């Protein structure tokens, strides 16, 4: 039986992994550095190659929505652009884009307090799991 697009078997496997405390690949890579894990786990794409929008276009969309005063969509596109900048290893652009998201949404982005270290760790992840 399918439940929200997943079979019961997949759902049981996920729950088993959660309850047995299995670590994700990102958690394993970050080790005891919980601060970097927290900085990355909500904003990093695990496989950004699947995002069909290039960084430059994502930034343009974010700015366009912001000019049109659709701040919710602008924030989403700044987040997408920030995730792509993480993949590219551009810490300066990551800080710039997530600062814009934070400004628009009022949400705090932990990546802004450790941008360089977080981007370096993300690059290690991509090197290990995507190459």
- pLDDT in single tens digits along all 131 residues of the chain: 445 555 555 555 555 445 445 568 989 999 899 999 999 999 999 999 999 999 999 999 999 999 999 999 999 999 999 999 999 999 999 999 999 999 999 999 999 999 999 999 999 999 998 87
Tell whether 17 is covered by a domain: no
Tell whether 68 is covered by a domain: yes
pTM of the predicted structure, to 2 decimals: 0.81
Task: Give the number of residues written for the chain.
Answer: 131
CA distances from 9 to 1, 20, 76 (A): 9, 16, 33
Tokens of 71: 């701040």
pLDDT of residue 17: 46
pLDDT of residue 103: 96
pLDDT of residue 8: 59
Tell whether 16 is covered by a domain: no
Question: Could you tell me the residue range of the domain that residue 103 belongs to?
Answer: 25-129
Tell whether 4 is covered by a domain: no
Tell whether 3 is covered by a domain: no
pLDDT of residue 130: 86
Tell whether 20 is covered by a domain: no
pLDDT of residue 123: 96
Tell whether 5 is covered by a domain: no
pLDDT of residue 19: 43
pLDDT of residue 113: 95
How many other β-carbons are positioned within 10 Å of the β-carbon of residue 84? 23
State the total domains in the chain. Answer: 1
Three-state DSSP at 48 gives helix
- Cα separation, 85 vs 106, in Å, equals 21
Tell whether 7 is covered by a domain: no
């Amino acid at each position: 039986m399918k439940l929200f697009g997943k079979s019961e078997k997949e759902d049981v496997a996920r729950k088993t992994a959660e309850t047995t405390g299995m670590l994700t690949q990102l958690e394993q890579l970050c080790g005891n550095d919980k601060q970097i894990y927290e900085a990355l786990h909500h904003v990093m794409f695990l496989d950004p190659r699947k995002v069909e929008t290039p960084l430059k276009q994502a930034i343009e969309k974010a700015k366009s929505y912001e000019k049109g005063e659709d701040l919710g969509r602008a924030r989403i596109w700044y987040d997408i652009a920030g995730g792509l900048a993480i993949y590219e290893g551009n810490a300066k652009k990551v800080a710039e884009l997530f600062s814009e998201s934070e400004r628009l949404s009022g949400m705090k982005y932990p990546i802004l307090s450790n941008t360089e270290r977080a981007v370096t760790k993300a690059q290690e992840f991509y090197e290990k799991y995507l190459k």
